[in-house]
Amino acid sequence: MRVVCLAGGVGGAKLADGLQQILASGELTVVVNTGDDFEIHSLTICPDHDTVLYTLAGIAERNQGWGLSGETWAVMGQLARLGDETWFRLGDRDLATHLFRTERLRRGDRLTDVALELARSLGVPSQVLPMTDGPVRTRVRTADGWLDFQDYFVRLHQEPDVLEVRFEGAEQAAVSPEVRDAIRSAEAIVVAPSNPIVSIGPILAVPGLLEEIAAARQRGVPSIAVSGIVGGKALRGPADRMLASLGEEPSALGVARRYVAAGLLDAFVLDRQDERLAAEVRALGLRVAATDTVMTDIESRASLARETLSAAEGATS
């Protein structure tokens, strides 16, 4: 079963890993958010892409949710000694990825080609595709004005309230041939339990991408999302507070409403804790499945992936 999974960082990476576990080799394509990509130390960093890549390669650090397991920090330590910025922590082996990518981008390679090459080198059996090749940069407006995403997310620890979000460059972005082909040959679309605003939002902002998903759905391909908000709290990150400060409901229902408004979905997976919201989500026109959505170990990733695909199939039956 060929599956396209739209994903941000940690939550997206975990569900993608679950899907990779249960699908045949090559059947999974993950389309990752590039809105939080940025430049530091003259390198192009793609945090969500790399989290998904490392997770699918089995080399991600499990506890902190980013970077590589068994990482060392010699470069960062020396950068500190030189008086350089160290608020965005880059491990030694992680830096190899950024050096590899940055050089190829400077040569003129597409971000997608770099991603395919990295996945091949790390033996990843799935495709991990940037949502687009062009630069898209998420910015958030706070009481102090507009901030670059990583300034808000890492440097300021997501403390300020987000009053507005924009995806700079999205209007000029285009769906890559690889993303288009993956959606056209998909048998299910899965929206991972990532932040709906700043992880899935930028992906949906790439012109033509929602249209490709709409066309797939018209062919009978189910599109299903898993809520990343459980019991009114984001499993990780600021999605709950962001929904609230943007005037939306900080719950699985709020997530479902967003996706329905975008014309994205046929079905929705929420956590058992949120079963009381099922009727309201159904009222949005969605099939609903309730299950355990909190992925605490490798096995729970696979079982959530299995439940999600079976709910997706139910959605078209």
Q: Using CB under 8 A, pick the residue from 26, 58, 62, 106 that binds a copy of itself.
A: 106
Q: Using CB under 8 A, pick the residue from 100, 134, 155, 248 that binds a copy of itself.
A: 100
Q: Does 43 bind a copy of itself (CB under 8 A)?
A: yes
The Cα–Cα gap between 251 and 229 comes to 6
Residue 117 or 187 having the CB closest to a copy of itself: 117
Spatial CB neighbours of 196, under 8 Å, sequence gap ≥ 6: 228, 239, 243, 255, 258, 259
Q: Does 122 bind a copy of itself (CB under 8 A)?
A: yes
Q: Choose among 115, 113, 71: nearest CA to 95.
A: 71
Q: Does 92 bind a copy of itself (CB under 8 A)?
A: yes
**Rounded to the nearest whole angstrom, what is the least distance from the CB of residue 214 to a copy of itself in the complex?**
37
Residue 64 or 72 having the CB closest to a copy of itself: 72
CB-CB contact of 83 with 18 (8 Å) = no
Q: Choose among 269, 296, 204, 243: nearest CA to 11.
A: 296
Q: Does 284 bind a copy of itself (CB under 8 A)?
A: no
Q: Does 262 bind a copy of itself (CB under 8 A)?
A: no
Residue 104 or 306 having the CB closest to a copy of itself: 104
Residue 93 or 155 having the CB closest to a copy of itself: 93
The Cα–Cα gap between 125 and 28 comes to 8
Residue 96 or 298 having the CB closest to a copy of itself: 96
Q: Choose among 158, 46, 57: nearest CA to 111.
A: 46
Q: Does 151 bind a copy of itself (CB under 8 A)?
A: no
Q: Does 282 bind a copy of itself (CB under 8 A)?
A: no
SS3 of residue 189 by DSSP? strand
Q: Does 317 bind a copy of itself (CB under 8 A)?
A: no
Q: Using CB under 8 A, pick the residue from 96, 214, 261, 283 that binds a copy of itself.
A: 96
In terms of Cβ atoms closer than 10 Å to its own Cβ (0-12, 13-18, 19+), residue 14 is: buried
Judged by CB under 8 A, which stretch of 18-26, 40-48, 242-250, 270-278 contacts a copy of itself?
40-48
Q: Does 121 bind a copy of itself (CB under 8 A)?
A: yes
The Cα–Cα gap between 20 and 47 comes to 20
CB-CB contact of 107 with 99 (8 Å) = no
Judged by CB under 8 A, which stretch of 116-124, 157-165, 214-222, 239-247 contacts a copy of itself?
116-124
CB-CB contact of 81 with 130 (8 Å) = no
CB-CB contact of 133 with 176 (8 Å) = yes
Q: Does 155 bind a copy of itself (CB under 8 A)?
A: no
Q: Which residues sit at the interface with a copy of itself, rule CB under 8 A?
A: 40-43, 72, 74-79, 81-84, 92-93, 95-97, 99-100, 102-103, 106, 117-118, 121-122
